Amino acid sequence: MRGGGKASGLLRLQLISLSSVLFCRIGLSTTPPPNPTENPSLQNAFVALQAWKKVITSDPKNVTGSWVGTDVCSYQGVFCSPPPDAKFGKVVSGIGLNHAQLAGVFPMELGLLTYIAIFHVNSNYFQGTIPSSFSSLTLLFELDVSNNLLAGGFPSVVLEMTSIKYLDIRFNHFEGPLPGGLFGMPLDAIFVNDNNFDGIIPSNLGDSSVSVANFANNQFQGAIPNSIGKMATTLNEILFINNKFSGCIPQPVASLNQLNVLDVGTNKLSGLLSDSIGLLKDLSILNVANNFLTGIIPSSICSLPNLTNFTCSNNYFINVSPTCLSLPSAGVIFDDIGNCIPNQPLPRLLKQCLTFLLQPLSCLLTI
Ligand SMILES: *[C@@H]1O[C@H](CO)[C@@H](O)[C@H](O)[C@H]1NC(C)=O
Ligand SMILES: *[C@@H]1O[C@H](CO)[C@@H](O)[C@H](O)[C@H]1NC(C)=O
Ligand SMILES: *[C@@H]1O[C@H](CO)[C@@H](O)[C@H](O)[C@H]1NC(C)=O
């Protein structure tokens, strides 16, 4: 039985913890260790953090130099507070080791930090992946392992961590597809950008409750799912920039009436830029540059009250509304260079425009 296996594993760790504490006491500790029967949670934290220290291979800032003795609450980067269940006086409630320049891995024993709400280790050199024992971190709210050297498929243990609101695994070396289960989680933010993820975005994207989703700078392909329109009451920012998305910009995007940022730049999107995007009253940043879009750059978009940067360069647009051309004089960034618009600066070559525009209009363009 899986649950039983996990439990006995933890028990074994607790026994190890007991012996290492006794050992420590005889050896070098000057402060008396917490009584294990009074606060097993701090005992477990001690085991977890010593196991972690053991697999840290580089620590130029000597962060773990303070990780000695059993008073784990005095360790650098380790935070304690009273637990929500009031079972103990205090527990380890957070790990804050951003920019610590640590190298190593995350050991299984970190699953013993069952009271942590925050695990922030961004901008280090951690390798490997997120261990399965993280499923024991049932209070974890923010998981930020961004800007490390983590690799392998999407860390599937994340799908079992139902208390997470903020998931940040960007700037690592993760690869392969995203699981559909990701969008069934009650998350507020998903950052998976700047990895090597590929495959399609699962069609249930729209089930996600996030306000921010960043898929940028991966190798995603296929269509942006139509279900995106279901995120109308929650979504503020979504970024797809620099992937290989194809097809048209899905029409249901026009119902995302809380949207501030839409970035689909540098993909292989085709078809028209619908003037219904001009319904997105809160839209501030719109980037559709470097795609295969054509038709007219709609005035409805250029009339949006909160627009600050509308970039539509390097497409095959054939006309632009005067409303758009007057945006810069109102302090709004508007960039439409590299299109097929007569009398605009730096257009595409006439030959390129003709070849492209002679094809039938389609969402299935293969270029
Ligand atoms: C690392 O920090 C510990 C505790 O702060 C200190 O005792 C030790 O001398 C330091 N080591 C180095 C190499 O600076
Ligand atoms: C525009 O921005 C302002 C301030 O940044 C904000 O209060 C407002 O709700 C936004 N939306 C619209 C439609 O003006
Ligand atoms: C406007 O948006 C484009 C596309 O995202 C970006 O490259 C550019 O830096 C932005 N301009 C400013 C001033 O933010």
Closest ligand to Cα 62: 1
Query: Would the pLDDT of 314 be above 60?
Result: yes
Please give the C-alpha separations between residue 93 and each of 42, 44, 120, 133, 142, in angstroms, as whole numbers: 10, 13, 12, 17, 12
pLDDT at residue 1 in the model: 32
Compute the radius of gyration of the chain from its Cα atoms.
26
Q: Among 250, 210, 252, 258, which Cα is nearest to 230's? A: 252
Q: State the burial class of residue 318 (Cβ atoms within 10 Å of its Cβ: 0-12, 13-18, 19+).
A: middle
Instruction: Quick: pLDDT tens for 164-205.
Output: 999 999 999 999 999 999 999 999 999 999 999 999 999 999
Tell me which fold the domain 183-367 belongs to: 3.80.10
282 Cβ inside 6 Å of ligand 2: yes
- Quick one: pLDDT at residue 87? 86
Question: Which pLDDT value is given to residue 34?
Answer: 53
pLDDT at position 28 is 40
**Among 1-15, 32-46, 112-126, 287-301, which stretch is predicted with the lowest mean pLDDT?**
1-15
pLDDT in tens, 34-68: 555 578 999 999 999 999 999 999 999 999 999 99
Class in CATH terms, 1-176? alpha beta
Q: Which of 29-33, 71-75, 114-118, 189-193 has the lowest mean pLDDT?
A: 29-33
Q: Which amino acid type is present at position 339?
A: N
In a 3-state reduction of DSSP, which class is residue 269? Answer: strand
pLDDT surpassing 80 at residue 358: yes
Which residue has the least CA distance to atom 12 on ligand 1? 62
Domain residue extents for the chain: 1-176, 183-367
Does any ligand 3 atom lie closer than 6 A to the CB of residue 311? yes
Q: Which ligand is nearest to the CA of 240?
A: 3
Residue 77 Cβ contacting ligand 3 at under 6 Å: no
